[in-house]
Chains A and B, each alone.
Chain A
């Protein structure tokens, strides 16, 4: 598994010491808040509604058992015993005190972790497929490239004053599990005539102006990745708008210039920059590939697992949702749900973090992943170990068999935590999960992606939900807009607004009408909500959503 270099460890320690000194100077009055704010944001420290919030980077969602244990320790020592895994594969602590944050950063540095570039106008954590390096449908492991991007982008001297934040995602499998075209730059690993390269997308993003990324290169040789990315960021750094923060993201630059004109800017940069790269990046990449080499997995029988499936219905239900194909047929990729019905999506207690660390050590090569869907992945589990793993997860309250179902909801923290939120997200997610479980409809409804954002910034990816929910403040009252038909996969689509918003207490009844209509309209159980919506168009679904509301209006 990848280990940070001495250079990285020293850089993280130096930054921790620097931030400790900055906090001390803020507390003794030497720095005003205006002076301190950009410094704390550079180190992932926000001030939210009720408290500070520390966002810790989990580069490309990969984390070791030892690091997970340290997160649990930090949650217990300096927070309230839990953390929140985010849609960008990071973790947030919701209750740190400013006076404690330097100790937290030191504790992170003890295990090679940090909060650098998790905030502010920087190149943020590169996200990837949480199944990377394990999935059966993988063309190449994206993580060596993601780590190369991390090293290149960290404190890059040219990019210290970007117009806005910049997010990159890489996917290495045929199925897109990283929502790459919803990112400023999306990279899809492809193979052409035996050569590995990237299909490059640019200008995707959600927020108040959602856009799907456009193809910038159909095949970029892998060796050109860093100079090409540098050219993209440089072109945007010069052409991007700084007059209006809502128009500063690269999606607006690409939209306003057009993809051809933007491509011309990139290629002009690239011809000069490519020549300056003399191979140091490729030498580093070769070293990274060795560090990310697949673990050696001994041959294991899988007959006992098949036998257990036949006799244990609970195991069978869980495996049907949580177990995915590994490239080694004796092994499986396990998704552990952090969406127990009624729990805040993506939250894990320190006890759960310790249990996950222990299980990773016992059954999973000491490796864990955080998915952008806010679940935890054990990427290399022998099928023979799955029954024992399931039993232990069940005792720890982590065996909810709902991956990909109605209750596997992405939700941002919303107004229960976030200073930017215009409405709550978490309680709606909790109520949706318990409501459809209690109706006994969750299995019947099958695959469904509900995504909830508590403001227009769309941290909950509502535009990409099969059903998206956006919470707004309408004249001092929480109001929720519903979008239909979004899709985060390789068939990416932005959901369309169904109509007027719903009051907080009207959302669940509206969703029930919508999903009962789907059950009536589908051709068979095999046709998912999204497939039925695509076949029939939105009208019959809108009719179901607004039927009750119209009846009220007519009275």
Chain B
């Protein structure tokens, strides 16, 4: 019935600004994947996910994003998560007047 558990990190989008965020060991939302809490225990992962989902005033769409643990912290386990972590793979168009 339940899907096979895949280790990962809690990720979501920031409610006010929309950017990608991750939850760290202290339950705070941070910008870098490598700073996220790595969750390889299904029970703990579900507990953290429940905590994240309760923070509807801060984030949108929290989920367990597949990751592996590398030497500097969690790393993406799927190319979608790699793009979420680093932004578009292309150079963005730019004009002279735009804000940075």
Q: Is the CB of A47 within 8 A of B18?
A: yes
Given A32-B56, A47-B61, A82-B98, residue A347 in contact with residue B84 (CB < 8 A)? no
Contact of B94 among A32, A82, A98 (CB under 8 A): A82
* Cα separation A29 to B57 with both chains bound (whole Å): 6
- Interface range on chain B: under 10, 10 to 19, 20 to 34, or 35 or more? 20 to 34
Q: Please choose the segment from A49-57, A283-291, A324-332, A359-367 that sits at the chain B interface, where 4 or more of its residues have CB less than 8 A away.
A: A49-57
Least CB separation from B88: chain A residue: A416
Tell me, yes or no, whether A99 is within 8 Å of chain B by CB: yes
B3 interface hit (Cβ, 8 Å): no
- Interface residue? A128 (CB, 8 A): no
Query: Which residues of B have CB within 8 Å of A424?
Result: 83, 89
- Using A27-B16, A97-B17 as known contacts, say yes or no to A81 and B97 having CB atoms under 8 A apart: yes
A80 to B92, CA, bound (A): 9
Task: Tell me, in angstroms, the Cα distance from A77 to B97 when the chains sit together.
Answer: 9
**Cβ contact within 8 Å between B96 and A97:** no
Q: Mark B61-92, 1 if CB is under 8 A from A, else 0.
A: 10000000000000001111001100111101
Q: Contact partner of B90 among A351, A426, A473, CB < 8 A?
A: A426
Is chain B's interface secondary structure helix, strand, loop, or mixed overall?
A: loop
In the complex where A50-B84, A50-B87, A98-B16 touch, is A476 in contact with B78 (Cβ < 8 A)? yes
Which A residues touch B80, using CB under 8 A? 49, 415, 473
Q: Given A76-B98, A98-B17, A47 and B88 touching (CB < 8 A)?
A: no
CB distance from A131 to the nearest CB of B (A): 26
Q: Please, which residue of chain A has its CB at the minimum distance from the CB of B77?
A: A476
- Chain A residue numbers with a CB within 8 Å of B78 are 476
Knowing A33-B60, A47-B60, A417-B88 are in contact, say whether A82-B16 is a contact too (CB < 8 A).
Answer: no
Within 328-383 of A, Cβ neighbours of B (below 8 Å) are at: 343-344, 347-352
A50 touches B18 (CB 8 A): yes
Q: How many residues of A contact B (CB 8 A)?
A: 42
Cβ-defined contact, B88 with A350, below 8 A: no
Contacting residue for A96 out of B18, B79, B84, CB 8 A: B18
| Residues of chain A from 435 to 474 with CB closer than 8 A to chain B in the complex | 473
How long is the Cα–Cα vector from A99 to B60 in the complex, in angstroms?
14
Whether the pair B83, A415 counts as a contact (CB closer than 8 A) is yes
B97:A416 contact, CB within 8 angstroms: no
Q: Are A80 and B90 in contact (CB under 8 A)?
A: no
Residue A477, interface by CB 8 Å: yes
CA distance A82 to B98 in the complex (A): 8
If A33-B60, A47-B13, A49-B84 touch, whether A81 touches B93 (CB-CB below 8 Å) is yes
With both beta carbons as reference points, the residue of chain A lying nearest to B57 in the complex is identified as A29
Contacts of B98 in A (CB 8 A): 75-76, 79-82, 349-350
Q: Which residues of A contact B93 (CB under 8 A)?
A: 81-82, 343-344, 347-349
Nearest chain B CB to A432's CB is how many angstroms away?
A: 14
CB distance from A430 to the nearest CB of B (A): 7
Q: Are B88 and A50 within 8 A (Cβ)?
A: yes
Whether the Cβ atoms of B88 and A81 lie closer than 8 Å is no
Which A residues form the contact surface with B (CB < 8 A)? 26-27, 29, 32-33, 47-52, 75-77, 79-82, 95-99, 343-344, 347-352, 415-417, 424, 426-427, 430, 473, 476-478
Contacts A48-B18, A50-B84 known; 6 new A-B pairs at CB < 8 A: A26-B15, A50-B87, A415-B79, A416-B88, A424-B89, A426-B90
